[in-house]
Amino acid sequence: MDEMLITPEVAASFTDGPVLATECKVVVANAVAHILRAVGEDPQREGLRDTPSRVARMYDEILAGYAVDPVALLNNALFDVDYPEMVIVGDIDFWSMCEHHLLPIFGKAHVGYIPRDKVVGLSKIPRVVDTFARRLQVQERMTRQIAELLQELANPLGVGVVIRATHLCMSMRGTQKANAHMRTTYLTGAFLTHPETRAEFLGSIGATTRD
């Protein structure tokens, strides 16, 4: 595996990214070239010649969540607003990567909370979702991470997070169930202790009838 399969020109083309430094991109690209050769392909044929470098740059993009501090992201967007009713940001599209097979997870996240004395800037909730999604993940952990961050920093009366996603590690391999999806829910505070609050949230995002 120490053998360098990518060319010096490819190695020289890399620059530091948000997650992968130049030398790390070289390692990733070389590893991809070895995979191509291991499965019987020629990494130097025309269609594959640039694939290792493309994959290295791709990982820098789709795993960019490691370069974002979610605490700093949210702390800069908390505002004093007197609003006691539920706030819901729904149908947040996301893409992630399964940490077990390095295959995509994609779907929608729904986030609700009841402010105590602060509200969260609207654009920050999708960015929080993206921050945790753009990492190697399992859906259960991602759902909990979003809810716990909002609960800790915004101190609302409660938080509800529902994620519905398709996992290509199940759709295109293994059980090969193309239409199967996974739904995870994480609730805190009033969403957990008050059935009517939980029902309002789930009903607002259509989770009680669609799934």
131: how many CB neighbours lie within 10 A of its CB? 22
Is residue 98 annotated as a catalytic residue, yes or no?
yes
In this structure, is residue 1 part of a structural domain?
A: no
Same domain, 57 and 78: no
Is residue 194 annotated as a catalytic residue, yes or no?
no
Q: Which of 23, 44, 61, 100 is catalytic?
A: 100
pLDDT score at 177: 85
Q: Which of 24, 34, 41, 169 is catalytic?
A: 169
Same domain, 79 and 99: yes
pLDDT tens per residue across span 3-39: 889 899 999 999 999 999 999 999 999 999 999 999 9
Is residue 99 annotated as a catalytic residue, yes or no?
yes
Same domain, 190 and 91: yes
Q: Is the pLDDT of residue 85 over 80?
A: yes
Is residue 181 annotated as a catalytic residue, yes or no?
no
Q: Which of 98, 148, 194, 200 is catalytic?
A: 98
Q: Kindly list the distances between the CA atom of residue 131 and the CA atoms of 62, 99, 111, 163, in Å, as whole numbers in the listed order.
A: 10, 15, 14, 15
In this structure, is residue 2 part of a structural domain?
A: no
Q: Which of 101, 148, 194, 200 is catalytic?
A: 101
Q: Which of 99, 140, 152, 181 is catalytic?
A: 99
pLDDT tens per residue across span 58-83: 999 999 999 999 999 999 899 999 99
Task: Say which CATH number the domain at 38 has.
Answer: 1.10.286.10
Residue ranges making up the domain that contains 17: 8-62
Task: Give one DSSP letter per residue of 164-194, joined into a string.
Answer: EEEEHHHHSSTT--TT--EEEEEE-THHHH-
Same domain, 38 and 19: yes
Same domain, 144 and 82: yes
